[in-house]
Amino acid sequence: MERNINLLFYLIFNFIYVLTSYSQVSKVEVTTNSSGNFELKRNGVPYYIKGAGAKDHFDLLVNSGANSIRVWSTNNKSLLDSAHKHDLTVTLGLHVRPERSGMDYNDEYAVKGQIEFLKNEVLKYKDHPALLVWGIGNEVDLKYGNFKVWETIEILAKFIKEVDPNHPTMTVIAGVDPSKVFHIKKYCPSIDILGINVYGSIENAGTNLRKFNWDKPYIVSEWGVNGPFEARKTSWKAKIEPPNGLKADQRQRRYKDLIEKDKELCLGSYCFLWGQKQESTATWHGMFLSNGNPTEAVDVMQFCWTGEWPKSRAPSIKDISLENIGWRKDHILTPSTQATLNIEFSKYNNTEVVVEYVLYPEAFSNKIGGDIQKSPDPLKFEILNQTDNELTFVTPNSRGAYRLFAFIKNERGQSSVANIPFLVK
Amino acid sequence: MKFILKIFILTLNFCLLSCGQMRNVNLYEPSKSVSEFEKFPYKILFTGSEENGLWGLKNNTCKSISFETTKNYIGKDHLHINWDASKCNYVAVGLKWSNYKVKNLEPIIESSAIELRVRIDSGEISNVPMFFVLSDYGGKQCRANINYLNLEGGKIDTVWRKILVPLQAFNYKKRGVNMSKVKELRLEFQRTGDIHIDNIVIVQHNHDFHKTNDTSVKAFYSWPVQLGIGREHWWGINTKYSSCFQFGESFTNESVLVDFKKSSIDPQWDMFGFSPYCWKRVDISSIFSTSAIKFKIKADNIPKIQAFIFSYKGDKRRIQKILNDSNFINKENGIYEAFLPLKSFADFQEFRWDELKEIRFKILEEAYFEIGEFQLIEFRGNPKKPTQWKGI
């Protein structure tokens, strides 16, 4: 009997706990601390964003030490619910259509329709317990020419101030630039935080914001390795992607030396991308492979967020070459001939690793700013000999641009990848 | 006699009945006016698969299309489309719209809209990645999307909701579409979705929205042009972080006092810049070839500086030039006037002079000076020997 009463109390307690935790809106505010540095406070407690642009792998994200995710639009409420269950907060994007998608900011009808739609989205989500910051627009400045877009951003930010005093407003720009800083300062006074998506340009971002007189806090809303748009190209315009091991080193340095050190203005960051996407290649920005396996970038982020490496680390490819010519150079081969690819990798504490090679046609794309790109399908090719470090294969019969990928994984599926584009002619 | 009486009575009845039904008419009664909308004969695009022709109905890995006969809004069936555009370049359904007859939409553009009914099987969504495309007989296309303002109830759910797409919402002017010779309507689908569609018709609609003027551009057609007016349009001057640059007071318009040492705390902080005009896209394309930037320097010696000009658009967005003695005239008392012809910049021909963004200066050596009073002036001399032109 006593046991049953205990069980009943336990169930009631759990029910109330779940009910209250889901109905509790967090109060998030931008303040300055005793050192004069900007600080985000969530329910009165300082909150430094250790975040990722993420839609899944939340268990691993939390275990790696993260506390927040960034999503780019309001079209998936389950993401917020899932984040909340994992005790993650969310910087929630309001998708303000960029001019490059065909939006005309001189068109009153289109502008008003978008504003009313997004106002409705604000009302839908403003009381979600996972909500941390509103991200009003993402890279609306990329290749734009009509500065009226900032009026839309301000109307939305002002509306949020009216209906949701609990969450700060942010707008996110692609790279730091004096004209953008001017426009946001002048035309968007209701914006509390500047979000900056910076890849190669992260190196000078903090200094540049100060040069351009940005005097509010900022969040590094997307950061990672240098993007395809910044990469060197081969003579046939294929983007040259560094091996994952080098990219992981770059991530670590940027977090430790640039993001973490700016205590004065930076409220935290969202690494890009805790997942996988096609952007020139299937492996450029993603910290996971398309099969869901985590790469060494995940280990690096755990080190950045917690100061400790995971017990089991992914192997890491540090170098790749084709016909003894390094990955930075052009590789031009003849059809149906024998060629050799070499990789060098760090095994770390793994006893066994599995290496796999996959050939793809080159995926040329003129899309920009993270716009959706389609992944090519792999091609069959003849392998003559394969070891952990070397692959001897027959080049394709057809002339054209290709890209050969080397994948390596340990027993737990932790992986690394590198690729080399080559031209058959 | 009886017969004659009968005839008389019948005639009288006829006359009385006829008189009762007569009405007064004006001799010149105007004919009833018929609106352009009423005159438009092709108002129905789709009410059912038997009545209206469609193309693009073949199912593939990206789309599944069927005509469902239950829960119709109107007619015997309706269109049900389920799509995933991630593996296809193009997912669309075309409406032959009165069997491809030439439709003249021009008279009804301002008073009409495409109306359709949509629903989904379950849940609720507030937008759908679906676009409306009108194509003319020249192959040109214009498009419009679903606007929240004309989505009934602001959502799509399990009941038939009305969507209106005003004809004015199509970007036909931008795309050069001949709206007097429209061929068909296409429904294009992106990303993923699953939707029921019925009753696509043309209806009367008052579209009370306008296109506003572009305010992002400022064009100049004559000289002089005062450049960089207003301190808010300058950058690089932030004394909280760098003492290299601060605003000066020696000149009438904005000026910068430069105290640059290589050993500064941040050695990268060696630049400042400003917008020619309020960070707008400045268009000087009609005068750039006979223009020079003129400014003043107050210094003991001419400093070593490099000038940059940036544009908002174009393949070549930055041009630059290191100034030398030939750019300066000594006006005595430590004042120098500088002349920088735009044609003296390398690659100036590749630069978008209709998209001018910023003028920037980099300090190349340790220096102490004040620089300001920037203007764009007329210059018709030799760009390589600017100070020798007698017009300055």
CB contact under 8 A, B147 and A110: yes
Q: In terms of Cα–Cα distance, which of B326, B320, B26, B74 is closest to B199?
A: B74
Q: Is the peptide bond before A273 cis (omega within 30 degrees of 0)?
A: yes
Distance separating alpha carbons of residues B276 and B294, to the nearest angstrom = 13
Q: Is the peptide bond before B224 cis (omega within 30 degrees of 0)?
A: yes
Predicted confidence (pLDDT) at residue B216 exceeds the cutoff of 60: yes
Residues of A in contact with B174 (CB under 8 A): 104
Predicted confidence (pLDDT) at residue B165 exceeds the cutoff of 50: yes
pLDDT tens-digit readout, B238-256: 999 999 999 999 999 999 9
Cβ atoms of residues A421 and A362 within 8 Å:
yes
Residues of A in contact with B148 (CB under 8 A): 113-114, 116-117, 120
Q: How big is chain B by its Cα radius of gyration, in Å?
A: 36
Predicted confidence (pLDDT) at residue A146 exceeds the cutoff of 70: yes
Residue A58: phi and psi, rounded to 5, are: -70, -35
pLDDT of res. B51: 83
Residues of A with CB under 8 A from a CB of B: 75, 102, 104, 106-110, 112-114, 116-117, 120-121, 143, 145-148, 178-179, 181-183, 185-186, 204, 207, 210-213, 372, 374
Predicted confidence (pLDDT) at residue A359 exceeds the cutoff of 90: yes
What contacts 24+ positions apart, CB below 8 Å, involve B263-266?
A: B266/A207, B266/B241, B266/B242
CB contact under 8 A, A102 and B209: no
Predicted confidence (pLDDT) at residue A113 exceeds the cutoff of 80: yes
Q: Which positions 181-210 of B are in contact with A (Cβ < 8 Å)?
A: 191, 207, 209-210
Mean pLDDT of B87-113: 95
Nearest CB to B269; choose among A117, A147, A211: A211
Cβ atoms of residues A74 and A94 within 8 Å:
yes
Look at A240 and A20; give whichever has higher pLDDT: A240
Look at A19 and B106; give whichever has higher pLDDT: B106
Q: In terms of Cα–Cα distance, which of A106, A171, A173 is closest to A141?
A: A173
Nearest CB to A113; choose among B148, B242, B269: B148
What are the percentages of helix, strand and coil residues in chain B, rounded to 5?
A: 15, 40, 45
Distance separating alpha carbons of residues A50 and A73, to the nearest angstrom = 20
Structure confidence at residue B20 as a pLDDT band (50, 70, 90): very low
Mean pLDDT of A11-24: 51
pLDDT tens-digit readout, B319-366: 999 999 999 999 999 999 999 999 999 999 999 999 999 999 999 999
Token pair, residue B39, equals: 């005159």
- Strands of the sheet containing A400-409, edge to edge, are A332-333, A415-424, A400-409, A354-361
d(CA A337, nearest CA chain B) in Å: 32
Cβ atoms of residues B314 and B350 within 8 Å:
yes
pLDDT of res. B29: 56
Mean pLDDT of A285-292: 95
Token pair, residue B47, equals: 């009410």
Q: Mind giving me the DSSP string for A28-95? A: EEEEE-TTS-EEEEETTEE--EEEEEESS-HHHHHHTT--EEEES-SS-HHHHHHHHHTT-EEEEEE-
The owner of tokens 């993420």 is A54
pLDDT of res. A364: 75
pLDDT of res. B52: 85
Residues of A in contact with B215 (CB under 8 A): 147-148
Element (H, E) at B141: strand B141-145
Q: Mind giving me the DSSP string for B109-131? A: TTTEEEEEEEE-SSS-BS---EE
Q: Would you call A169 helix, strand, or coil by DSSP? A: strand
Distance separating alpha carbons of residues A92 and A110, to the nearest angstrom = 22
pLDDT of res. B19: 45
How far apart, in Å, are the Cα atoms of A62 and each of A99, A274, A413?
Answer: 36, 12, 19
Look at B31 and A302; give whichever has higher pLDDT: A302
Token pair, residue A219, equals: 């969040």
Q: Would you call B292 helix, strand, or coil by DSSP? A: strand
pLDDT tens-digit readout, A96-105: 999 999 899 9
Residues of B in contact with A182 (CB under 8 A): 232-233, 235, 275, 279
What are the percentages of helix, strand and coil residues in chain A, rounded to 5?
A: 30, 30, 40
Residue B106: phi and psi, rounded to 5, are: -55, -45
Residues of B in contact with A210 (CB under 8 A): 238, 240-241
pLDDT of res. A363: 85
Predicted confidence (pLDDT) at residue B23 exceeds the cutoff of 90: no
Q: Determine the angle formed by the axes of helices A108-125 and A77-85, rounding to 10 degrees.
A: 30
Q: How many Å from the N-terminal Cα to the C-terminal Cα in chain B?
A: 123
Cβ atoms of residues A119 and A136 within 8 Å:
no
CB contact under 8 A, A374 and B236: no
The owner of tokens 């900032």 is A150
Average pLDDT, chain A: 93
Structure confidence at residue A199 as a pLDDT band (50, 70, 90): very high
Predicted confidence (pLDDT) at residue B383 exceeds the cutoff of 80: yes
Distance separating alpha carbons of residues A70 and A92, to the nearest angstrom = 6
CB contact under 8 A, A117 and B87: no
Mean pLDDT of B47-62: 91
Query: Is the CB of residue B123 less than 8 Å away from at least one CB of chain A?
Result: no
Cβ atoms of residues A37 and A263 within 8 Å:
yes
Work out whether the CA dihedral B55, B57, B62, B63 comes out positive or negative.
Answer: positive
Count of CB contacts below 8 A, A vs B? 99
Cβ atoms of residues A131 and A167 within 8 Å:
yes
Mean pLDDT of B277-300: 98
Nearest CB to B86; choose among A75, A210, A374: A374
* Three-state DSSP string of B51-94: CCCEECCCCCCCEEEEEECCCCCCCCCEEEEEEEHHHCCCCEEE
Total residues belonging to chain A: 425
Distance separating alpha carbons of residues B40 and B263, to the nearest angstrom = 78
A169: Cβ contacts below 8 Å, ≥ 6 apart: A133, A134, A136, A156, A157, A160, A161, A190, A191, A192, A193
Substitution target in A114, A116, A211 with the highest count of B β-carbons within 10 Å is A211
Distance separating alpha carbons of residues A299 and A245, to the nearest angstrom = 11
Q: What is the DSSP letter of A255?
A: I
Token pair, residue A55, equals: 């839609």
Q: In terms of Cα–Cα distance, which of B340, B356, B267, B259 is closest to B298?
A: B259
CB contact under 8 A, A148 and B169: no
Mean pLDDT of B164-189: 97
A106: Cβ contacts below 8 Å, ≥ 6 apart: A146, A148, B211, B212, B213, B214
Average pLDDT, chain B: 92
Task: Name the β-bridge partners of B119.
Answer: B196
Residue A404: phi and psi, rounded to 5, are: -105, 125
Residue of B nearest to A112 (CA): B149
Structure confidence at residue A376 as a pLDDT band (50, 70, 90): confident
Look at B15 and B188; give whichever has higher pLDDT: B188
Residues of A in contact with B209 (CB under 8 A): 107-109, 112
Work out whether the CA dihedral B8, B10, B13, B18 comes out positive or negative.
Answer: negative
Strands B367-378 and B225-226: antiparallel
Predicted confidence (pLDDT) at residue A367 exceeds the cutoff of 70: no
Cα A419 to its chain centre, rounded Å, is 21
Look at B2 and B98; give whichever has higher pLDDT: B98
pLDDT tens-digit readout, B60-89: 999 999 999 999 999 999 999 999 998 788
CB contact under 8 A, B209 and A108: yes
Structure confidence at residue B119 as a pLDDT band (50, 70, 90): very high
Nearest CB to A210; choose among B154, B214, B238: B238
Cβ atoms of residues B104 and B177 within 8 Å:
no
Distance separating alpha carbons of residues A175 and A196, to the nearest angstrom = 6
Residue A419: phi and psi, rounded to 5, are: -145, 160
Query: Is the CB of residue B236 less than 8 Å away from at least one CB of chain A?
Result: yes
CB contact under 8 A, B209 and A75: no
State what percent of residues in chain A have pLDDT above 70. 92
The owner of tokens 């106002």 is A119
Token pair, residue B76, equals: 């015997």
How far apart, in Å, are the Cα atoms of B130 and each of A231, B144, B188?
Answer: 34, 9, 6
ipTM for the assembly = 0.87
Q: How many Å from the N-terminal Cα to the C-terminal Cα in chain A?
A: 83
Q: Which positions 16-45 of B are in contact with A (Cβ < 8 Å)?
A: none
What contacts 24+ positions apart, CB below 8 Å, involve A382-385?
A: A383/A357, A384/A338
Substitution target in B126, B279, B318 with the highest count of A β-carbons within 10 Å is B279
Mean pLDDT of A2-11: 56
